[in-house]
Each structure stands twice: as structure tokens, then as C-alpha cells.
Structure 1
């Protein structure tokens, strides 16, 4: 298999347009026990795999390569079926209900817990342990695949949010990338003083993901689980402290703009590309898009991890996909051979290079960090050291669908509620959903 240097991640990693979550997977039943050794002969068998469309622009060529390698390794054939993201969830739930799931599927990180909870996915904990991989997987991706102590999805790829900034403006104002929240405020102050026409740090009211690092960074949480019961923590003193700091960047310090109260992440990106923004919370997939959209910005942008309150890093949501094995598949061992081949080593690295995301194997991410590319390494560091999942329950998906956190942020930024009042309202709404 022809390989490219890890440094090639620079060009491709950053061209992806966004993160999505998907769902699906399949497994169960008996298989030739010789597959446990990784050298089973499955000649004549076919493994059915669902993969989401659009993540990798060269997916057909990639899976042609995978099919050949899999055939050489196992003797089995692959049947790869690409699924549209928009209709994938409904197709998965229908296939689960009807017992027509594939053997293996790409499952979005926010869907894995949902499918595991209804018994559709195989617990891969023992397989991961037997392969010696338990210490070499990105913790945040393991967290989002874990339900009741079992791991129901193998980390495959993900992206994460850090802070993207204008290096030229920082250098002109003598600003170093901040390493604490106080330094973040000082940097924004210096940007504002040196460049009165720009927005130092816009706070996007229609994006929950910008608030999460500060909620987590202050020691708060979105929700906690006690047995089978989830309870909102968004109105706890720690969470409110983080929300007060984050929204205060706009309401107290004036680093944002009133228009940002209703901005989505796409609005943030557009304002940055128009030269209106000094720094922003943004995804690992955006720096390359910025350079592609506005070539004049090449060499003028950088990134740094989201700083911790006083030191270290604040956790940031990471999202992407697992590979899951469905519980009804009668090709469990063969399915694992495919999952392990795809999510580790050369194929995992190549998928990351082509798709624009990071692999879920820590050792591969460490290689990216060692390359020290200023547009890539900070995101890899964020993902390895401070990547985190939202609550692993399908009920949280309902909360996201209702945009509970965005409504909370917009009420704070618009001045219609205090931070505590808005958080209390959001907590009550979350608890109503959890109670259902």
C-alpha cells in the first residue's frame, strides 16, 4: 500500500468542511474460532459494511484498496454500502427493528450509546483488550462509546475544536497565545486596543460547542448519571461560573458583537474569512478551508488549545465516528478483523489524511503532534489531552434537537435573563427530557 508522510496531514486534514455524527453497526453469532488469532481463513464469506457518504472525497478508491487488503488478509470479500448522513439514522433504526443490520457500520459518536442501549451493538471491550489497544485509544472517543462499562464502538476518526487566531494581529500587538482564562481576556483586550475595527472574540449564541469548554473548564458538567437516571448539571455553581466567564467575554468585556447572539459556527467562519475576527473557537477542519477560501490568509492564521482556567487545557467536545459490530451478525470475528484493520495503523492514518480528520489511535495522533505543524498539532494536542464527549444517552440527543443550550446562551447574550436564571431554565428543560 502506497503511503504518504504524516506531514501530508497538513494539506488534507484541514480541508474537511464539518463534523457530523452517524449511526449503524452489526454483529452477533458464531464464527470460526481461528479468527481470534487474526489469521483465520474466511474464503467464500462476505462482510457487509455501511459507511457514511461525504467524509472522504476519495472514498471509492480508498475502499478499493481496503477490499484488496482485506481479501489478502482474510480471504473474505467486502460489500461496502455508502449511506447518506441525512437519512442514516432512520435507516439504522429501521434495520435494527427489522433485524436487517449490516455486519459492521460507521456509527456517529452521538449515536453509539443509543444503539448500544437497545442491544443492537456488540460489546468490543474484550476484543480491544485482547488486541492490546485499550491504552492506545483517544479517551474522549472511548468515553462516547462506553455504556455500563462496555465499549460498543471502536474509535475511528474525529475532529475537535480549539482556538483559531490571526497570527499577524497577535504579532503586531505583541500577544502570545494565552495559557489561562485571564491571559485569554488580556489577549482579547490587547487585540481590541490595537485593532478597534475587529471583533476580538465573538461568542456565537447558536453554538453549544463554544460554551462547553468553559463549563467543563470551571469544573462543571452538562449532566451526570446515577444508576439509570441522568440529571442536569448545567445550573450547578461550577457550570454557572464557566458560563459567566464565556458569555462575559461578550456582555462584560465587549469582545463580541450583538449580531453574534444568533450566529452559528458557519457565521463565525464567514466573519473570520472576511477579516472581521481576531480569534474564535473553531474546528480542526477549518484552518485549511480558510486558506482555500481566502488564499491571502495563508501564513496569517494559527491555532492553540483552549486554555484551562488557571493552567492546563479546558476540555473540548470531540465528535466523529466509531466502527461498530452489530449484535445480530453471524460474523463476529471476521467483523472485528475488519474493524481493527480500519481503525489502527496504516489504514487509519491514511483515512485521516484523506478525510481531513484525526485517527482515534493515540499513537498516530502523537505522530501528528511531533510534526509540530502550527495548524494541526494544537488540535491533535487538544484531542489527546482534553477531548470530551457529551452525555452518552439518546436522551441528550433530544436535548440537542430542542437546542436547549443554544436557547440558554441566547437569552444570556440578549440580556433577557441572568446566567443563573437561564441556566436554571435550561436545567429544568433537560431534567424534563431525562425524566421522560
Structure 2
């Protein structure tokens, strides 16, 4: 069974069908909820929205007006969050509601820590208006545990001023991307034609998928990594070859994370890079002189079209320890629909998880919004939806593969074979 979910071009086809993900939950999502005298404890990840504290001041006031309940929001660093969740789950000290990263939701659901919310979503009339990729990653064993909140996707960001200078067009195929990178490097030897980072897992998978490969597939409960398939290795070879064969990246990028790519692009030393929809504002914030000098385009497939890109983001999940799950869902609904969902997206640079709100982004004429919106709708994909994928990420299986190739320690076939073997083991509960 193929577990990669790719969004389709028509927005209407993104809608979740009620039968697929209902089930569970108290089913009072559309009624009035009284929370007089109660306090709802919420964990929100820190750093996604620079204006999070004043934002939640407004949310707290609205929640108090709507339900009578107080809101106690605690901001948690992403780097510390997973360990905190694991510890709190073991000790029964979880919050009522928390932001859960899309690769964590199934893990926490599998641990029995999350409350199913499908009935709440259905009764609130929201089950036909949610971004499918976020629904899929928030669904485990037929039950919905994560309410889509916001999403981001990576596309190809490029120096439009350099492209104009050299008479280049945004690439639509792999060959065009390579040719553009060579032209940039020849004209500007001090600039990377394209950044190929070694420690940036989600920048690898578009090339695997773009070649027709898969990260991993599941059959009869058993997962198999396909990073070593001919198609996957073709994509990995192209991506790493831009650095190892053509010298268009740099040896230093072997250890780069996405934050390093952001820094380099902001400093004006990178011609093209796979970057997130949340990064354009960060680029200008880091270097105001970059304003108007860069653009974005969906990641090209090998011979045209759009290569799928990981649809990341966050859910809001209700924990089983919540005393009043009706009140908890009232908060979840307030956050993920309407005014506050739109405001969060505008402030953070992410897309909302509600398809009706996403339409605004799709209809935008902002050249730094439209390509990412198109990537999300026509080419947003999910990593394997399984509780054990977090363990794969923790072992840095894909990054280790990339670094071994970029450093010259292994060829693509050896590195991909080793990575596939490790990923398959971990996905099926091994070490």
C-alpha cells in the first residue's frame, strides 16, 4: 500500500470525506460550551509565530467571552518538545490541548495519549473543509486525532535578480535546474549555483518522489523503505550529483541544516535552494537588501510538472487527560477556523489547514505566495504515516545517507542500500 499522499490540483478534491476520518470524540463540536470557573491548559510550540504572545492574548479574551473559561498557554521550545511530551505522557501530566507536529500525532495516538476528535469535527460541519494531507497525517488506525491547524511546504527559491541578469528562466525540469545552476556558478564563482544541504531531510524527498520513487511503503502491517529502488536512487543521484559531480554546492554544505541554507541565501551567497513557504519574510528580516531580489517556483519534476514536497505543519490535539473535552474542542475550533486561523497564517507565513481559507492564498497575486500555494495544492505529500517514523528522524537515517554521499564516503547505491535497511528496521520497531 502506498502511504504517500499527494494533493490534487482541484481544491475541492482536497476535502476530507466524512466516512474516512470520523469516529471517536464526544460530538458536541457545534454546540455552546460553558467553561465558567475552568482553566484550559495548552502547550504551543515557540518560534513559529514571532507575535505569538500578543496573538494568544487576543485568543484568550475571545475564548473567555465564548466559553467563560480561562486559557493557560505555555510556550515550549521545539527542540525540547518531544521529550517533554514523552515524559508527560508517561507521568499522566499532559496538557488539555497541545500543538503536535504532524510526524508526532500518530506516535502519541498509538501511545493512547490522545482523544479521538472525528465526531467533534463532523458535528461542527468541518469534515469537508480540511486540507487532506494534514488530515491524513492526523489520522491513525481509522481515527482522527489531530485537527489541521497550519501547514507549510517547500518549493524552489531562486535569485530572480541574478536570473534576470543572466537571461535565465525559472527551471521546469531537472536539466533546466542544472543548466541554470551552472550558469550562475560560471557568472558568479563566489556563489553556490544551488545549495545541497546534508542535514536537511525534507529537502531530499522531493527528488525521490520526483523520479517516481518512494520513501517507504506498507503492506500487511510491514513497512519497507524504498530509498534503494532504482527510481529513488535516480532522484538521490541527481540531487547529490549537483554537488559531487558538478561542484554547484560546497563541501561545507555537507553538514548544513535548513537554517544554514536560510542564512546563506539571506547573505546573498546562494543562487537556488529548496526552502519553506515560511522563509521569504525571514530572508528579508535577516537582510532587508534582499527584498525584491528573489522569487519562488514549485520544485520541478524530472521532465516537467511538479515534484511532490513534504506537507509539514502542526495539528492541535486533545489529550485523554483533559477533564472537559467539549471545552477543549471549543478552543481547537476557535484556533483552526475563521479569524484566528487566518491571522496565525498571516503572521507566521504558513498556510491554514482549512481549505476555504487556503483559497485566499491560492487566489493571491503575491509572487512569493502563489508558487508555494500551488506546490501545496498540486504537490503536497506526506512522509510515512506511522508512529515509528519519528524514530527514523531521530536516527537521522536520511541525513546520514546524504552526508555519506556528499562527503565521498559512500556511493549512492551503497548509501541508499544502507539507509533503506536501517529505515525498514526502525519503521518495524527495530533499532
Q: Could you tell me whether the CA contact under 8 Å between 1:175 and 1:187 is conserved in 2?
A: yes
Is the CA contact (8 Å cut-off) linking 2:25 and 2:119 kept in structure 1?
no
Residue in structure 2 matched with residue 82 of structure 1 by the alignment: 75
Task: Give the 5 Å matches for 1:2-401.
Answer: 35-401=28-394
Deviation at 1:216, TM superposition (A): 1.3
Specify whether residues 299 and 208 from structure 1 end up closer, same or farther in structure 2 by C-alpha distance, changes over 3 A only: same
C-alpha distance in 1 between matches for 2:80 and 2:252: 33
Contact 1:29 1:329 in 2 (8 A): no
Q: Deviations over 1:206-261 (max 9, x none)?
A: 22222110111122121122243222111112211211221122233332223322
1:406 aligns with 2:428: no
CA 1:193–1:100: 2 relative to 1, 3 Å: closer
Unpaired runs of 5+ residues, structure 2, are 1-23
Q: Distance in 2 between matches of 1:414 and 1:53?
A: 34
Q: Tell me how far apart the structure 2 counterparts of residues 206 and 51 of structure 1 sit (CA, whole Å).
A: 26
Cα distance, 1:370 vs. partner?
A: 1.8
Q: 1:132 to 1:220 in 2, by over 3 A?
A: farther
Deviation at 1:29, TM superposition (A): 8.7
TM-score (norm 2): 0.87
In the alignment, what sits opposite 2:4? none
The answer to whether the 8 Å contact 1:106/1:322 transfers is yes
Residue 107 of structure 2 contacts residue 390 of structure 2 at CA under 8 Å; is this kept in 1? no
State the TM-score, normalizing by the size of structure 1: 0.86
Question: Is the CA contact (8 Å cut-off) linking 1:273 and 1:294 kept in structure 2?
Answer: yes
The worse-fitting range, judged by mean Cα deviation, of 191-200 and 202-211 is: 191-200
Name whichever of 338-347 and 409-418 sits farther off. Answer: 409-418
Matched position secondary structure for 2:36: coil
The residue that corresponds to 1:14 in the other structure is: none
The corresponding residue for 1:428 is: 421
Count residues in correspondence. 406
Quick one: structure 1 residues 70 and 431, their matched pair in 2 at CA, closer, same or farther if it must change by over 3 Å?
A: same
Do 1:146 and 1:152's aligned partners in 2 also have CA atoms closer than 8 Å?
yes
CA distance in 1, matches of 2:172, 2:125: 35
Contact 2:133 2:381 in 1 (8 A): yes
Q: Is the 8 A contact 1:136 1:363 kept in 2?
A: yes
Q: Distance in 2 between matches of 1:278 and 1:87?
A: 33
> Residue 197 of structure 2 contacts residue 258 of structure 2 at CA under 8 Å; is this kept in 1?
yes
Give the distance between the partners of 1:188 and 1:132, measured in 2 at CA. 48
User: Which 10-residue stretch deviates more, 290-299 or 78-87?
Assistant: 78-87
Question: Measured at CA, do residues 186 and 425 of structure 1 come closer, stay the same or move farther in structure 2, by a change above 3 Å?
Answer: same
- Separation in structure 2 between the aligned mates of residue 371 and residue 266 of structure 1, nearest angstrom: 27
- Post-superposition offset of 1:277: 1.6
Q: Give how far 1:180 is off.
A: 2.2
Task: Give 1:133 shift.
Answer: 2.6
Task: Give me the whole-angstrom Cα distance separating, in 2, the residues matched to 1:238 and 1:81.
Answer: 45
Equivalent of 2:411 in 407, 410, 418: 418
Counterparts of 1:428 and 1:93, CA distance in 2: 27
Alpha-carbon contact 2:99-2:317 (below 8 Å) kept: yes
